[in-house]
Structure 1
Amino acid sequence: MQYGITFVLISCCFLSYTFASRGNEQSIFLQCVDHCNQTQCPAQLPLPLTLLFWSCKENCQYNCMQTITDKALEHGEQVFQYFGKWPFYRWMGIQEPASVLFSIGNGWVHYHYYHILKKKIPSNYYLKNAMLVYALFGMNAWIWSTVFHARDTAITEKLDYFSAGLLILYSLYYALRRLFYIQHPPWWMTLVFVSCYGIHVGYLSLIRFDYGYNMLASVVVGLIQLSLWVGWSIQQYTVDDKRRSFAYMALISVVGVALAMSLELLDFPPLLRILDAHSLWHLSTIPLMAIWYQFVLKDTTHEMKYHKSTVTTTLPIPK
């Protein structure tokens, strides 16, 4: 939900992920793929690979990558990334099984709490629909994260990035509404957010898929949102005379997610060719997201109890 502590931190994560792909430039790799492609392709691939749209050449790349990595580990040599990814063992055609599993876990948290929010939040609470939309955007983001980590293609990559961007931007929208008690957002506020997202996706889709720009945009939005929640949380224990003892949950969640992202600074070859820093980041956000939803539930109860006139809306009368 919340992304980033500093631009430098995230930039370092991004740069390490982007430029550490020397493996696919090695002559031994290129020669292996070329030989495999000439001697084994075309070929009928196993059903799981066919269902996930693996080509014979891509299968050659995978097999060559694993063979070279085997030899590197055997001789204590450096393990390289290939096409921006570590040499993971695939399972049933899935490229990054651990990241897929943890993405599903994150998606389940949003799904689980969507139904809890729908049941427990009063219908006249001004943020109920906003909360439900947030949970839906969360499910959408992690569904496409699952798909992307299962099979990295140009399309699945864009869908993953665009869905994550939508969740980040909407998180800021929600933060502004909650922290400044905006019951009915003015048209221009909604227009600003919709336009920003439309321009963002349009630029990346029609002009240039710029990784640096995409990361910068996410960091800027994430930092604004992070600052808002951290400031509000600290205020509850310092100057606010109507303190919320549960505010620490918001602080843990937003700062925890930001810190979890720093795991990518520790980028390392995957343990057992399964677990890497990126997958551990996805694992750590599962409990942090659950803490966030628990905070939302407690916060709603508190607001309805002590600020009901401020946070309730008039429900339409059924005809």
Structure 2
Amino acid sequence: MFLKFLYLLALFNFCRCSIGDKSPYYERCLLTCEKDFCGAGGDDFIDGYSQPLHLRLSLWSCRDECKYGCMWKTVDQFTARNWRIPQFYGKWPFVRIFGIQEPASVVFSLLNLYVHIKMIQKFRKVVRPDSPLFWLWHVFCLICCHAWLWSSAFHARDTPFTELMDYACAFSIILVNCYVMLIRTLRGILPRFVATGLSVFFLAFFANHSVYLGTGDFDYGYNMELNVLIGTFTAISWFSWSVYNKDRQPYVWKCAIYVSLTGLVLLLEVLDRPPFFYLFDTHSLWHLATAPLVVLIYSFAIDDCHYLRKIELEQVKDDLKSKIE
């Protein structure tokens, strides 16, 4: 019920109209700017204006520049009247730094990428390659790193393509967490051919959903509901498995804390507030909060691989002993 409540609040925040770009002042400003400074189509500048190199490299067109300039003029008009800071096209106004639209979210997304890389390096140093499920955590790392890279790209420059990749890769993180959970918790129960079939199913499901997102006319509510449903199932399953195995595997508290804190920091996505100093919004702080949790899940992975290897070696010894006898 609580997670359903979070979902409804997040959906409510998402569906609110952006009064900034709908305001008459903004619309007049944008119309005048494009008329005075932009050529046909709104991409090129007229009157020989030379755009700074970093803005050209980040593909800021004349129309984009007009939107950015008029956004701040509109914000000034709102704040001068003590009105609430408005959103524009579903986003809060952010200070652009070297052409990067949301600098804090970019930095914190790259921080998550960095932590994944550092932790998989630590994992490889202390876990033997022949350990059970050694491969699984590399798949997890690869998919997460790919997703955080595209998260950085999207927050750096919001385009239809980077938005698609951000949505698809965010879903890939949700899906790979579910996949890792199923492979680990059902290890020893699933026959090999069933585990292979499960892998094919997850790949096909992800490909199908990515194609659906690529249509550009998808249901945002359905996409969010699907993410929440899979994420909730994964969290409940991980937590239940951890509680069940806490006596035999004391280290599983790390997994339980990981899923609990992941749900807790999700509250930052619900608390949609204007950014502090026009840099730090709650979404960027959510990215910051997830970085330390990466350390926790890899610490669990290291302990779990050590445990599985120990059990496997004990089983081999027992089999040899029984054959000798």
What TM-score do you get using the length of structure 2 for normalisation? 0.87
Question: What is the alpha-carbon distance in structure 2 between the residues aligned to residue 284 and residue 5 of structure 1?
Answer: 20
Amino acid at match of 2:277: L
Q: Residues 55 and 233 (structure 1 numbering): CA distance in 2 closer, same or farther, change over 3 Å?
A: same
Matched, 1:267 2:267: no
Q: CA deviation at 1:207?
A: 7.2
Which one of the candidate residues 221, 225, 243 is aligned to 2:234? 225
Aligned-residue Cα RMSD (Å) equals 2.1
The equivalent of 1:68 in structure 2 is: 74
Question: What is the alpha-carbon distance in structure 2 between the residues aligned to residue 118 and residue 306 of structure 1?
Answer: 20
The equivalent of 2:155 in structure 1 is: 149
- Secondary structure at the counterpart of residue 266 of structure 2: helix
Runs (4+) of structure 1 exceeding 3 A deviation are 182-185, 306-311
Q: CA deviation at 1:219?
A: 1.2
- Secondary structure at the counterpart of residue 278 of structure 2: coil
Aligned 8 A contact 1:52 1:93 in 2: yes
Question: What is the alpha-carbon distance in structure 1 between the residues aligned to residue 231 and residue 315 of structure 2?
Answer: 27
Moved more, 108-117 or 142-151: 108-117
Question: What is the alpha-carbon distance in structure 2 between the residues aligned to residue 145 and residue 308 of structure 1?
Answer: 41
Matched, 1:30 2:20: no
Aligned 8 A contact 2:134 2:305 in 1: no
Which one of the candidate residues 227, 244, 247 is aligned to 1:235? 244
Which one of the candidate residues 290, 297, 302 is aligned to 2:302? 297
Q: What do the CA deviations read for 1:261-289 (whole angstroms, capped 9, x no partner)?
A: 11122111001101111011000001111
Q: Residues 216 and 76 (structure 1 numbering): CA distance in 2 closer, same or farther, change over 3 Å?
A: same
Q: CA deviation at 1:103?
A: 0.1
Q: Residues 45 and 193 (structure 1 numbering): CA distance in 2 closer, same or farther, change over 3 Å?
A: same
Q: Residues 80 and 185 (structure 1 numbering): CA distance in 2 closer, same or farther, change over 3 Å?
A: farther
Q: Which is bigger in relative contact order (C-alpha 8 A, separation at least 6)?
A: 1
Matched, 1:40 2:44: no
The equivalent of 2:123 in structure 1 is: 117
- Secondary structure at the counterpart of residue 267 of structure 1: coil
Unaligned runs of 5+ in 2: 39-44, 317-325
Question: What is the alpha-carbon distance in structure 2 between the residues aligned to residue 94 and residue 11 of structure 1?
Answer: 31
Identity %: 34
Amino acid at match of 2:265: A
Moved more, 48-57 or 97-106: 48-57
Aligned 8 A contact 2:103 2:155 in 1: yes
Matched, 1:84 2:96: no
Question: What is the alpha-carbon distance in structure 2 between the residues aligned to residue 208 and residue 30 of structure 1?
Answer: 25
Amino acid at match of 2:11: F
Question: What is the alpha-carbon distance in structure 2 between the residues aligned to residue 299 and residue 70 of structure 1?
Answer: 54
Matched, 1:198 2:207: yes
Amino acid at match of 1:301: H
Question: What is the alpha-carbon distance in structure 2 between the residues aligned to residue 152 and residue 5 of structure 1?
Answer: 32
Q: CA deviation at 1:201?
A: 1.4
Amino acid at match of 2:64: E
Q: CA deviation at 1:113?
A: 1.6
Moved more, 34-43 or 270-279: 34-43
Structure number, greater radius of gyration: 2
Q: Residues 116 and 56 (structure 1 numbering): CA distance in 2 closer, same or farther, change over 3 Å?
A: same
Which one of the candidate residues 87, 94, 101 is aligned to 1:95? 101
Q: CA deviation at 1:79?
A: 0.7
Which one of the candidate residues 134, 137, 155 is aligned to 2:140? 134
Unaligned runs of 5+ in 1: 312-319
Aligned 8 A contact 1:21 1:81 in 2: yes
Aligned residues: 304
Aligned 8 A contact 2:132 2:309 in 1: no
What TM-score do you get using the length of structure 1 for normalisation? 0.89
Question: What is the alpha-carbon distance in structure 2 between the residues aligned to residue 194 and residue 124 of structure 1?
Answer: 25
Q: What do the CA deviations read for 1:224-269 (whole angstroms, capped 9, x no partner)?
A: 11011111222244xx5x2x22222112211211211111221110
The equivalent of 2:253 in structure 1 is: 248
Aligned 8 A contact 2:132 2:308 in 1: no
Matched, 1:160 2:187: no
Q: Residues 95 and 161 (structure 1 numbering): CA distance in 2 closer, same or farther, change over 3 Å?
A: same
Q: CA deviation at 1:14?
A: 3.5
Q: Residues 18 and 144 (structure 1 numbering): CA distance in 2 closer, same or farther, change over 3 Å?
A: farther
